[in-house]
Amino acid sequence: MSIVFKKLSIVALSLALLAGVVSTPVANGATNEELQAQISAMTAQINALLAQLAGTPATVATTPAMSSYTFTRNLTVGSTGADVMELQKFLVSSGHLVLANPTNYFGNMTKAALAKFQAANGISPAVGYFGPLTRTSVNGMMTPVTPVTPVTPVTPVTPVTPVVTSGAVSLASTNPAAGYIVAGQAGARLAAIQFSGAGSVTSLVLKRTGLSTNDVLTNVYLYDGNTRITDAASINAEGVITFNNPSGLFTAPKTVEVRADVTSTATGQTTVAIEVSSYTMSGGTATAVTGIVGNTMQMSTAALATVTMQTNNQNPNNTTSLSVNAGTVNQNVWDVTLNVGTRAVSLKGLTFKYVGSASSDAVGNLGVYVDGVKVGSTATVNAMGLVAFDFTAAPVTLTTGARTIQLRGDFVKGSNRSAQFYVQNLADYMIEDTQVMGAFISPTSGANVYGYNFNIQSGSIVVNQDQTYSATQVVGGSSNVNLGKFTFKAYGEDVKIETLVLTPSGTFTGWTSGANIQNVTLYVNGAAVGSSQNWSPTTSATLTFNPGANMIIPAAGVSTLEVRGDLRDGAGVNYTGGTVQVDVTSFVGRGQQSQATVTSASATGRNLTIGSATVSFSKTGGFLGSTVTPNANAKIGSFTLSNSNYEDVRVTNLSVGLLFGAGMTITNVSNLRVSDSATIVAQPTADSNFSMDVVVPMNSTKVFEITADLGSTASTTATVTANATSSYRGVSSGVSTTAGAAGVAMTANTATLVAADVTKLSSSAPSQLVVGGTVMPTVIYNVKSSTAPVTITELTFDAATSTDAITAIKVGGVTKTITALTGNVVTGLNIAVPAGASGLNIPVDVTFGTVNTNGGIASQPTAVDTITLTAVKYTSGNTTDTVTTASTTLVSNAMQLVASKPSLTVNGTQQGGLLLGSENKIGEVTVIADAKGDIKLNLLTFNIGYSGFSTGPALSGVRIADGSTTISGTTATTTTSTTSPVITVDFGDAATSSDGYSIPAGTSKTFSLFATNTGGVVSSGATAAVSAQVQGAALFKWDDVNGGGLGLTAANIYNFPTQSYSVRQ
């Protein structure tokens, strides 16, 4: 054979091999795992062929030889292990399976090959299930065959080094500390490894170290958190543990944990640790790792609690199949009984393996139940076919005795396919001993525990009233109104609704002839489907629709059906009342995969009340007959339209009629307008009809105001009354209606103010100390207009003392800078004063000037600063006038301007602890300095009072203190009275020459008065008490430091305290 022909043959054979692998999954539904195994095998063969092309003889693979292996268990799709590999070798040798390198996974190709073997050997049923009959037959055929001696290979061609994608590897912060692990435990945590690079890790090689043999760990796993991400690996003769997955073990960055099942024969002298040898990133070569070793664990032989799997679990031999209807919910899919001995244990996690021909999302809402009670949250099948439950946040306590563990789920997809769950490894039970923390127990007979193999039947549908549709009423006359809403949920497979039968019913007030509901139409997921029909009970009690391809309900999905129609009869008459209801009576569906017929129970719709919009139109409440000034934009009417809860209404026209009193005619009215608050919504047409388009929603109101410009006529008989008629129609029903309402008479008149109409209120601010730079509400004036409203446009003020003391006035939102002591006019005002005896209160804010000894004015020793309202300019109708006020009565209360000021507080709650003959605190006062500046306290005076004494005591040892420490430089003088003595405290070097006690700006100081009471006689049965009251006026003296004010008194301190501090026995 020529070299060219050989090369072409090899290339063709390579392509054929790859084509076979690619096409197989389509035809046979091969799983990802089996496909990967095939690809690996084909790749090896192609590499060998390519080596031949390079001129290097390749090693010829030996034909898998049968052995004397004895099969002991049943095998099916999803099974793994050495016995699966032996079965594949047998099927290859018997000619029923083409597979270059057998794997340990039972997939769809193995199932198909086994079915061929069964058919060829008369084993029924020939369905590819490796059960007792097939096992007996195969065991009888297992005879050793001498393998073909391979061709001795020559030195291969050096392969091209692949690109290396590296990532840093280290021990994670969660790496377990050195400690003990228990012989016989499952899932012992040995190491946590941090991969900080980026990319897919396809291989990880570990090594066992420590004083132990390779059989100390029976199964080794990788975990992501508490989720197992690999099948079990074993330790080879060199102590090496290898994890491989060409599709990727995990994606970095990631922290993975190494856990292992520990042999029960390990002794207390045994130690073990895990070392990282190498890892491989996708598309790269192995990267060696050194120095990454987990902490050493020492074996312990502690007696753990026992957990034994009862033999009566759901499917002990994996031989039982059950049929389940698609749509079955909360189905028990895995069920065992655990016998817990010695003591209680904690269930911290549970992992299941999913196998079957149905897709991994065929069973949803998976949850674990312990003794019938759900624990933890629901889970789904992940990409590895695992369902992992993590209970570490809230472990489940399993007390001693028999405990039932179940896995339940909802069958939502997978018609005519199978689904099965099983626990694959002992480490999948995270059952911790409650007294040996960290020790997970290996349940006896706990591995490969299968649930039923469920065969999912053809699809089903559940139809219900849509709970989001909460309507209770509909509008008569409405078109395309929603009369019923339903949900259709399919299970197992997509289902096409071929026939749908509806049953309408109801009473229809106003019906005259023809069909009762017009244009009944189906809407599926919001889109109209098919043709509409009219319904009349005299013709047929039901309506039948054939939506077909327009209504296919997806498996595990929900479609919404709305039934809409027109609520009027065949003559076009709108209904004004009654009821209507539409029920789903029956339907016929067709499973799109099984082609089986699907039916369901009926669904009852909502009973809806038919009604129409009820609208009230009336004069606005609170709009009363009153006097308006004859000027522009006078409000002469106000009407409110209130809508009910049936439908929105659209106001299309408002007709206004005017009635006049003896003193007014139509010639006095112009520019009639209709406004919604401040917005003009319509202009007049002939006969004062206002065309508009205003929608009033359900359960809401709209106010329409009638305004006009009134001419100069003004008198008590110049009246105008605005009546109105509204025209509106229902937005849904289209029903048109009119409603009228009478207005009230409005009098057009003007007013003239006099001096007595302007007064100062007693609630104006009293005389007090005012800190410079303050803006303060100083005075409130009241203006009354008895006959008609007026609008104030200007106010004139005078100011006392100087323009430096009072710098600005603010009134009606307008600020005026004071430039002179008289004639300060605030212009630009628009203060509306209504007609009536109450008038309008007008507050005035005053800005006071800056007080200091460096560029400002000096502190004032008395209250001298005032403002006075001297004139009011106003308009009434088209008239403008000014009234000169009685200014002597409109002077504000005088203010005393300072740079800072004190304020005082006294604790008025009586204290206990008075001891006669001993020193007692008999008085207390707190003095606060304003934040604008420091003050100095010069003089405090206390009036002392007694109660409960028949003879008052004498005071001695009087002192003033900060806390309990006497304030130096103070002098306390006491009068000799035994009934009401007075204590004077001078804060200075002598009683007549004080330099004061400084209190910084924004701070406070509490002064305590101490004295000894001697010689007093307490009345029989009485409780003695002593009180001290701070005195004001000239008996309290202070200095305004920044303003230069010396010897100021308490005369104008606002809210000077009047309560007393007292102490009793």
Q: Confidence class of residue 991 from pLDDT cuts 50, 70 and 90?
A: very low
Give the model's pLDDT for residue 600: 73
Contacting residues for 136 by C-beta, under 8 A, at least 6 apart:
none
Alpha helices in 776-825 (DSSP H): none
CA distance 563 to 587: 15
Which of 623-627, 632-636, 897-901, 1044-1048 is predicted most confidently? 897-901
Give the model's pLDDT for residue 750: 85
Give the model's pLDDT for residue 67: 58
Task: Give the domains, in start order, of the chain with CATH numbers.
Answer: 3-141 (1.10.101.10), 169-300 (2.60.40), 306-456 (2.60.40), 460-607 (2.60.40), 615-748 (2.60.40.10), 755-898 (2.60.40), 902-1064 (2.60.40)
Give the model's pLDDT for residue 432: 92
Question: What separation, in Å, do the N-terminal and C-terminal C-alpha atoms of the chain show?
Answer: 129
β 548-553/1037-1040 pair status: unpaired
What digits encode the pLDDT tens for the residues 352-374?
Answer: 999 989 998 999 999 999 999 99
Residue 992 corresponds to which amino acid?
T
Q: Is pLDDT of 601 > 90?
A: no
803, 804, 805, 806 alpha-carbon torsion, rounded to 10° = 50
Beta bridge partners of residue 726, listed in sequence order? 654, 739
Which one is predicted more confidently, 194 or 30? 194
> 590 and 598 in contact (C-beta within 8 Å)?
yes
Q: Is pLDDT of 28 > 50?
A: no
Which of 58-67, 476-485, 849-858, 981-990 is predicted most confidently? 476-485
Give the model's pLDDT for residue 63: 39
Q: Confidence class of residue 64 from pLDDT cuts 50, 70 and 90?
A: very low
Q: What is the DSSP letter of 577?
A: E
CA 825 centroid distance within chain: 57
Give the model's pLDDT for residue 666: 85
Comparing CA positions, the residue from 519, 508, 514, 511 lying closest to residue 536 is: 514
Give the model's pLDDT for residue 312: 58
Could you give the percent of the chain with pLDDT greater than 70?
Answer: 89
Q: Is pLDDT of 421 > 70?
A: yes
What digits encode the pLDDT tens for the residues 72-97?
Answer: 888 888 888 888 888 988 888 888 88
CA distance 20 to 253: 36
Contacting residues for 986 by C-beta, under 8 A, at least 6 apart:
938, 939, 970, 971, 972, 973, 992, 994
Q: Which strands, in side-by-side order, build the sheet including 401-411?
A: 306-309, 331-341, 401-411, 363-370, 373-379
Q: Is pLDDT of 751 > 80?
A: yes
CA distance 188 to 182: 8
Q: Is pLDDT of 1 > 90?
A: no
β 1061-1064/911-912 pair status: parallel
Query: Across 877-992, where does the E strand assignment appear?
Result: 879-884, 895-898, 902-905, 911-912, 919-929, 935-947, 949-951, 954-962, 965-966, 970-974, 982-987
> In sequence order, what DSSP letters do the residues of 941-959 get, joined into one string?
EEEEEEESEEEPPEEEEEE
> In sequence order, what DSSP letters do the residues of 1045-1060 get, joined into one string?
EEEEESTT-TT-----
Give the model's pLDDT for residue 725: 95
Beta bridge partners of residue 719, listed in sequence order? 747
What digits encode the pLDDT tens for the residues 117-166?
Answer: 988 888 887 888 888 888 888 888 875 544 444 444 444 444 433 333 33
CA distance 698 to 239: 80
What digits encode the pLDDT tens for the residues 659-690?
Answer: 998 888 888 888 888 887 656 655 555 468 88
Does the pTM surpass 0.85? The reply is no
Give the model's pLDDT for residue 73: 87
CA distance 560 to 562: 7
Q: Is pLDDT of 408 > 50?
A: yes
Give the model's pLDDT for residue 21: 41
Counting every residue written for the chain, the total comes to 1065
What digits encode the pLDDT tens for the residues 171-193?
Answer: 999 999 998 899 888 899 999 99
Contacting residues for 105 by C-beta, under 8 A, at least 6 apart:
31, 33, 34, 37, 79, 80, 84
Q: What is the DSSP letter of 727?
A: E
Q: What is the average pLDDT across 821-847? A: 95
Beta bridge partners of residue 1014, listed in sequence order? 954
Contacting residues for 993 by C-beta, under 8 A, at least 6 apart:
none
CA distance 943 to 1031: 7
Helix count and strand count (H, E) for the chain: 5, 76
| Sign of the alpha-carbon dihedral angle for 244, 246, 249, 252 | positive
Residue 269 structure tokens: 């002298």
Give the model's pLDDT for residue 678: 56
What digits encode the pLDDT tens for the residues 261-303?
Answer: 998 887 777 899 999 999 999 888 999 999 999 999 998 888 8
